Structure 1
Amino acid sequence: MIFKKRTFFGDEPQRLPAEDPAELERRVAHCLAVAPGLDAVAVTVTGSGTTILLGGTVATEEEIARAEEAARSVEGVADVVNRIELAKVGTG
């Protein structure tokens, strides 16, 4: 295997500082995506400073709690506002 240096149009990719809200959102979203026992496909993550707002829907109450727990575990998150709701089954 040959590994090439990562570039974006010939330049180094820009890395956002860890305290940047977009970077914090990305890290929380990644944590939710890999959290065991959580299907976070319909969960949204929005950051404002060090506060994270979770929205969207999941299938169970346990997943709501897991999502909040996972978001709180990310370094740099000071507060989590959890507005995740249960998905309505059989509608549509």
Structure 2
Amino acid sequence: MIFKKRTFFGQEPERVTPDHPAELERRVAHCLAVAPGLDAADVTVTCTGNTVLLGGTVATKDEILRAEEAVKSVAGAGEVLNRIALSKVGSG
């Protein structure tokens, strides 16, 4: 049996694969890890499509806002659901 290369009007078809949610999660997590003024060690990232859900805890209210701003700067991120809470240690 001989297999011929697939063509579309003489050209090889363009293959576009959508980004996997895990790739977006990786990019968002990296952005949070390197964001200045933010300790994201206890922050979780979950993506469904291009919607990003943030969870976990941080020490200050400013860090909650910084995390959301950082996620909005990531290419491919859409709606951000920020469920980050203040940690008991940092809120005293």
TM-score for the superposition, normalised by structure 2:
0.77
Number of the residue aligned with 2:47? 47
Q: How far 1:18 moved relative to its partner?
A: 6.5
- The number of aligned residues is 74
Pair member with larger Rg: 2
TM-score for the superposition, normalised by structure 1:
0.77
Q: Distance in 1 between matches of 2:19 and 2:38?
A: 26
Q: Distance in 1 between matches of 2:78 and 2:70?
A: 13
**Residue type at the aligned position of 1:39:** D
**Residue type at the aligned position of 1:58:** V
Structure 1: unaligned runs, 5 residues or longer: 1-16
* C-alpha RMSD of matched pairs (Å): 1.4
Structure 2: unaligned runs, 5 residues or longer: 1-16
Same amino acid, percent of matched pairs: 70
3-state SS of 1:65 partner:
helix
Q: Distance in 2 between matches of 1:58 and 1:27?
A: 20
Which structure 1 residue ranges, 4+ long, deviate > 4 Å from structure 2? none
